[in-house]
Amino acid sequence: MICVYSGQLVRIRPLRDADEYAQYVLDQGIELNPYWGNWYQSQARSRRDFDECGMLSTGSYSTFAIERLDSGEMIGVEEYGMSGPACPRAWIGTFVGTRHRGRRFGVEAKQLVYCYLFENFPLERVYADTVENHIGAAKGLKLSGMRYEGRHRKCVLQNGRWLDTVNYAIHREEWEAMPYRHSVQRGPAH
User: Residue 88: what pLDDT?
Assistant: 86
User: Residue 19: what pLDDT?
Assistant: 81
**In the chain, where the domains are located:** 4-187
Contact of 97 with 31, CB cutoff 8 Å: yes
Cα→Cα distances 136→24, 54, 91, 98, 174, Å: 22, 30, 18, 12, 22
User: Residue 183: what pLDDT?
Assistant: 96
Q: Distance between CA 94 and CA 181 in Å, rounded?
A: 18
pLDDT by residue for the chain (190 residues), tens only, comes to 568 999 999 999 998 887 887 777 777 654 445 555 544 455 555 556 665 655 566 556 788 999 999 999 999 999 898 876 667 899 999 989 888 989 999 999 999 999 999 998 899 999 999 999 989 999 999 999 999 999 999 988 888 889 999 999 999 999 999 999 999 999 986 6
User: Residue 62: what pLDDT?
Assistant: 83
* Domain 4-187, CATH homologous superfamily name and number: Gcn5-related N-acetyltransferase (GNAT) (3.40.630.30)
Contact of 42 with 66, CB cutoff 8 Å: no
What amino acid occupies position 17? D
User: Residue 35: what pLDDT?
Assistant: 55
Of 109, 106, 79, the residue nearest 7 (C-alpha): 109
User: Residue 38: what pLDDT?
Assistant: 47
Q: What 3-state DSSP class applies to 138?
A: helix
User: Residue 31: what pLDDT?
Assistant: 46
In sequence order, which residues have a C-beta less than 8 Å from that of residue 112 and are 6 or more positions away? 5, 6, 7, 10, 11, 12, 78, 184
Q: Distance between CA 45 and CA 26 in Å, rounded?
A: 11
* DSSP structure class, residue 182: G
